Amino acid sequence: MSTDKQSRFLESWAYRKAKSLVATTVAAPERLLQLVSRAQGFKALSSSRFSDILGQTKAAFRLVRCYAKGHYRDISIESLGLIVASIIYFVMPIDTLPDFIVALGFIDDAALLTWTLNTVAADLDRFTQWEKDNESVIDAEFEEID
């Protein structure tokens, strides 16, 4: 994402609103779980706009679920906040480009998720390695995610 587009998204009222909800969402594990469940239910994730980042997006969802369940905490609050803010933005029906605008509504969501996932890539890599090393901890509980 270019610096101009990045600034537009990060300074938009919708992203500021999403960021304002991060602290209360992270502080309440049930809210985190509800947020991820809601995001996973979006049919937009199966669209071509998300195909390049679908694997990373699912990993981010699993990370948030594991964080909410207390299984995984090896992530900075800043990185977790970026992921949560982007998920909140993604599920907001009215954001920079409202999702009901056919063919355009999820462009901003995909762009913001891509930027976020690139920004926290090292955290996601560390998490996916943790998942591999701890399969027995999470197998039964999280098999419905993928």
**13-22, 51-60, 67-76, 97-106 — most confident range:** 67-76
Amino acid at 126: R
**68 and 9 in contact (C-beta within 8 Å)?**
no
- Is 80 exceeded by the pLDDT of residue 29? yes
**88 in a structural domain:** yes
Q: What is the pLDDT of residue 135?
A: 83
Q: How confident is the model at residue 2 (pLDDT cuts 50, 70, 90)?
A: low
| 11-15, 87-91, 97-101: the lowest-pLDDT one | 97-101
Q: Classify residue 119: in a domain, yes or no.
A: yes
Mean pLDDT across 3-10: 67
In a domain, 114, yes or no: yes
Q: How far is CA 137 from CA 10, 72, 118, in A?
A: 36, 10, 27
60 assigned to some structural domain: yes
Neighbours of 5 (CB within 10 A): 14
Residue 146 lies in a domain: no
Structural domain including 10 reads: 3-138
Averaged pLDDT score across all residues of the chain: 82
105-127 confidence digits (pLDDT tens): 566 777 888 899 999 999 999 99
143 within some domain: no
pLDDT of 51 reads 74
**Total count of domains within the chain:** 1
Assigned domain for 144 exists: no
Quote the pLDDT of residue 139.
Answer: 63
Q: What is the DSSP string of 34-99?
A: HHHHHHHT-GGGGSGGGTTTHHHHHHHHHHHHHHHTTS---S-HHHHHHHHHHHHHHH-SSSSS-T
